[in-house]
Amino acid sequence: MVLALILEAKAIAMAAHNSGGIVIAQVERIAARGSLKPQDVQVPGILVDCIVVAEKPEYHHQTYSEHYHPAFSGELRVPPAVIPSMPMSLEKIIARRADMSRFQIP
């Protein structure tokens, strides 16, 4: 399983499972038993109630605008010089201010 960010997938699955909810996992393919490294499994099968196999890449967005990009998951390193500069906008100003607030001591 390759994800841009793991975040709370296991905690959410545990919460849904333990409160009587249904946990549905969307996967690209079913792996043979024992073919995955345990470290690569983020949500244990014991928590999953249903599996949906969606083989088409367009069903597996990594972000809102990307289907898959290896740089988001750390498989590929992109030099900063290749990344296009963000045009000046409200979003950029907000992002700059948020970044600068990291360095202010409360």
Q: Per the domain annotation, does 98 fall within a domain?
A: no
Q: Is residue 100 part of a domain?
A: no
Asked if residue 22 belongs to a domain, the reply is: yes
Distance from CA of residue 78 to its chain's centroid? Answer: 18
Q: What is the pLDDT of residues 47-95, one digit of tens each?
A: 999 999 988 877 777 777 777 777 877 788 888 888 888 899 999 999 8
Q: Which of 63, 69, 70, 57 is nearest to 26 (CA)?
A: 57
Q: Specify the pTM.
A: 0.57
89 within domain boundaries: no
User: Quick one: pLDDT band at residue 1, thresholds 50, 70, 90?
Assistant: very low
Q: Is residue 41 part of a domain?
A: yes
| Residue 86, domain member (yes or no) | no
Model pLDDT for residues 6-47, shown as the tens digit of each residue: 678 899 999 999 999 999 998 888 989 889 888 888 899 899
Number of domains in the chain: 1
Q: Is residue 35 part of a domain?
A: yes
Answer yes or no: is 66 within a domain: yes
Q: Print the domain residue range for 22.
A: 9-77
For the chain, how far is it from start to end, CA to CA, in angstroms?
39
Buried b (16+ CB within 10 A) or exposed e, 35-56: eeeeeeeebeeebeeeeeeeee
